[in-house]
Chain A
Amino acid sequence: MLDSFLNIKTNQESLEYFPEEINEKFFTVSEITREIRTSLEHKLSNVCVIGEISNVRKPGSGHVYLTLKDKNAQLQAVVFRNTASRTKFELKDGIEVVSFGSITVYEPRGQYQLIINKIEPKGIGALQLAFQQLKEKLEKEGLFDHAHKKTIPFIPQKIGIVTSPTGAAIKDILNIIERRFANVEILIYPVRVQGEGAAQEIAEAISELNKLSDIDVIISGRGGGSLEDLWAFNEEIVARSIYNSRIPIISAVGHEIDVTIADLVADKRALTPSEAGELVVPRKDLLVEKIEKFKARLLQSLTGKLRLSKEKLVRIANSYAMRQPFDRLNRWQQKLDEFTQRLNLNITHALYAEREKLSGIAGKLESLSPLNVLKRGYTITTRLEDNKSLRDIKNLSKGGKIKTNLSKGSVISEILSIEKR
C-alpha cells in the first residue's frame, strides 16, 4: 500500500502530460488521506524511535507536543496526558530519548505524527534522570538551603511519624526511642510508602501534622528498597511539603546509600530509620545521671561551706575575744544572730524543702545562739530610750537609764557615774 502511494506521488508531475497512464481511480483529498493513514498506521504501529527532543510545547490540556529530531530529519510527536503523567522525568529540549509508540495521520492537517506511549531517556534510567532533574530544579529554587533548615528540638515532647504502620521502619524507630527516652508521646500517621498515590499520602500527612499544635518534630521515611520502591520520596510534592513544614522534619529513607530528594530537603537526614530514632531523642539515662551529679555537687559545696562556717563560729565563741568586754561580744552576738537567722531561714526554704537532712546543723547552731551566751552569764546592755545596744560609753550620761538583758529577764538601771578606762 505504502509503495503504491509513493508511486503515485512520484508520478504526479507527469499527470497532466500522461493522464491516460493513470488507470486507477481518482481520489478526493479525504480519500487519499484516509488511504495514507490506513497504510501508515498499519505498517508503522508499535515502533521504537530514537531521537533528540526539541521544540517541546505543554499547553493546559496536559498533552505534551514535541519534535523528535536527528541530524537529517524531524518527526512530530505527541505524548498524551495519561502517558505524560506517568513519565517520571521532565520532557525537555535536548534530551536523547527512546520513544515507543505508533505513527498516525492527523487528517484535518494532512500531517503524520508519532503518538508516544512510553518514553525513556537514552543511556540512563528514567528515574535517575528524573531524580537529577528535580534535584537540579529544587536546588536552584533553594529548597536544600542550609539557612532554611530548622533545629531539631533536644527533648521533644511529642513526635509525629509518617510511615507505613506495617513496615520495617516503624519497628526500628519505635525500638530505638523506647530504649533511649521511653516517656515521649508518639503519633503515627499511617501512609503508603510506595506505589501509586504514596507521594500524595506522604505530602498530605506532613501538612496534616502541621495543623496539630503539639507536634515538636516529624520523622518521615521507610525502610530500604529499590529506586522504584523509594520513589515517593523523590517526588516534588513530598519535597515541597517537607520544605513548607513549620515543624522540623527528620527524613529517614532506606539505607545509607539511597539519598532521596526528601533527604535533601529535610531539616535533618537520618541514614536509616534506626538512626532517626537516635537523632530524635537523647539518651535519658545519661541526662539523669548528669543532673544528679550536679545536684550532689551542689549539696556537697553547701554542706562544706556550712561546716566551715560552724567551725569558725565555734572557734570564735570559745576564743579569748569572747571573754573580752561587751563591745566585742555584742558585735559577735549580732553576727551570730544574723547568721542564725539566715541559716534557719534558708535551711527551711532550701534544705528542708529538698528533704536534705541538714537539720542537725541547725540544732548545733542553736547551741551557739545568743540565748545560750546569756545563760552562761553574759549580759547585753541597751540604752533604754532607744533600745540600742551599748558598745562604749559614748552617748551615755549620768542619770540616763539603761537596760541589762540577762538570761531570764532584764534589769533597768540609772547611771550613777561613768568611768573611762
Chain B
Amino acid sequence: MKKPDFETSLEELEEIVGQLETNDLTLDETLAKYESGIKIYRQCNLILEKAEKKINILLKNSIGENRTEKFNLKKTTNTGSSSIEE
C-alpha cells in the first residue's frame, strides 16, 4: 500500500482528536498533535476531492482500436451494441 487510505486516516484523526480532548497534554504535545491532525485532515480532503467527475464510454473503431468518448445517456451510441432490456 502506497498511501494510507481514507478509512485508516479517519481512524487516526479520530484518535488524535480524542487524545487532544483528554487535555492532559503539555502545550508542546498539544501543538504537535494539532499539527499532525490537520495534516491527516488535509489528506482525507485530498482523497475525497482527488477524482474528477468524468463519464466516458469505450468505443472500438473499425480496426478494433479503443477510444473513449463522453457518455451521454440520452444519445444512442454507435457501438453496434443493440441490447434490448425489459
Interface residues of chain A, those whose CB is within 8 Å of chain B, are 153-155, 157-158, 164-171, 174, 182-195, 198, 208, 222-225, 229, 284, 287-288, 290-291, 294-295, 297-299, 301-302, 304-306, 309, 339, 342-343, 346, 349-350, 354
Flag if B82 contacts A302 (CB, 8 Å).
no
Least CB distance from A197 to B in Å reads 11
A279 to B76 alpha-carbon distance, docked (Å): 27
Flag if B53 contacts A183 (CB, 8 Å).
yes
Residues of the A chain whose Cβ atoms lie less than 8 Å from the Cβ of B28: 342
Flag if A342 contacts B31 (CB, 8 Å).
yes
Least CB distance from A368 to B in Å reads 14
Flag if B35 contacts A349 (CB, 8 Å).
yes
Flag if B10 contacts A290 (CB, 8 Å).
yes
**B65 lies within 8 A of chain A by Cβ:** no
Flag if A301 contacts B23 (CB, 8 Å).
yes
Give the contacting residue for A346; candidates B31, B53, B57, B82; CB below 8 A: B31
Flag if A157 contacts B50 (CB, 8 Å).
yes
Residues of the A chain whose Cβ atoms lie less than 8 Å from the Cβ of B20: 297-298, 301-302, 305
A346 to B53 alpha-carbon distance, docked (Å): 37
Residues of the A chain whose Cβ atoms lie less than 8 Å from the Cβ of B17: 294, 297-298, 301
Flag if A294 contacts B23 (CB, 8 Å).
no
Least CB distance from B8 to A in Å reads 10
Least CB distance from B55 to A in Å reads 5
Flag if A294 contacts B56 (CB, 8 Å).
no
Contact A187 to B53, CB < 8 A, known contacts A192-B81, A225-B85, A291-B45? no
A169 to B86 alpha-carbon distance, docked (Å): 10
Q: Contact mask B53-86 → A, CB, 8 Å, 1/0?
A: 1111111000000101001010011010111111
Flag if B31 contacts A350 (CB, 8 Å).
yes
A190 to B58 alpha-carbon distance, docked (Å): 7
Flag if B55 contacts A222 (CB, 8 Å).
no
Flag if A183 contacts B30 (CB, 8 Å).
no
Flag if A309 contacts B35 (CB, 8 Å).
no
Flag if A350 contacts B51 (CB, 8 Å).
no
Least CB distance from B23 to A in Å reads 7
A289 to B47 alpha-carbon distance, docked (Å): 14
A299 to B20 alpha-carbon distance, docked (Å): 10
Residues of the B chain whose Cβ atoms lie less than 8 Å from the Cβ of A309: 27
29 A-B pairs whose Cβ atoms sit less than 8 Å apart in the complex = A153-B5, A154-B6, A164-B85, A165-B79, A166-B82, A168-B85, A169-B85, A171-B73, A185-B55, A186-B56, A187-B56, A189-B58, A190-B59, A191-B83, A192-B81, A223-B85, A224-B86, A225-B86, A287-B6, A287-B44, A287-B48, A291-B44, A295-B38, A298-B38, A299-B34, A305-B23, A342-B27, A342-B28, A346-B31
Least CB distance from B77 to A in Å reads 5
Q: Which 10 A-B pairs have the closest CB atoms?
A: A301-B20, A164-B83, A167-B85, A188-B57, A346-B31, A157-B51, A298-B37, A305-B30, A302-B34, A185-B54
Contact A194 to B56, CB < 8 A, known contacts A339-B27, A342-B31? no
Flag if B86 contacts A302 (CB, 8 Å).
no
Give the contacting residue for A191; candidates B21, B25, B41, B81; CB below 8 A: B81
Which of B52, B57, B77, B83 neighbours the largest number of chain A CB atoms within 10 Å of its CB? B83
Residue of B nearest to A195 (CB): B83
Give the contacting residue for B54; candidates A186, A302, A304, A349; CB below 8 A: A186
A177 to B57 alpha-carbon distance, docked (Å): 16
Least CB distance from B15 to A in Å reads 10
Least CB distance from A357 to B in Å reads 15
A173 to B2 alpha-carbon distance, docked (Å): 29
Flag if A346 contacts B35 (CB, 8 Å).
yes
Residues of the A chain whose Cβ atoms lie less than 8 Å from the Cβ of B50: 157
Flag if B7 contacts A154 (CB, 8 Å).
yes
Give the contacting residue for B83; candidates A171, A193, A294; CB below 8 A: A193
Least CB distance from A390 to B in Å reads 27
A187 to B23 alpha-carbon distance, docked (Å): 49
A171 to B85 alpha-carbon distance, docked (Å): 12
Flag if B49 contacts A183 (CB, 8 Å).
yes
Residues of the B chain whose Cβ atoms lie less than 8 Å from the Cβ of A167: 83, 85-86
Flag if B58 contacts A155 (CB, 8 Å).
no
A305 to B32 alpha-carbon distance, docked (Å): 12
Residues of the B chain whose Cβ atoms lie less than 8 Å from the Cβ of A193: 83, 85
A297 to B84 alpha-carbon distance, docked (Å): 53
Residues of the A chain whose Cβ atoms lie less than 8 Å from the Cβ of B54: 185-186
Give the contacting residue for A188; candidates B23, B47, B58; CB below 8 A: B58
Residues of the A chain whose Cβ atoms lie less than 8 Å from the Cβ of B76: 166
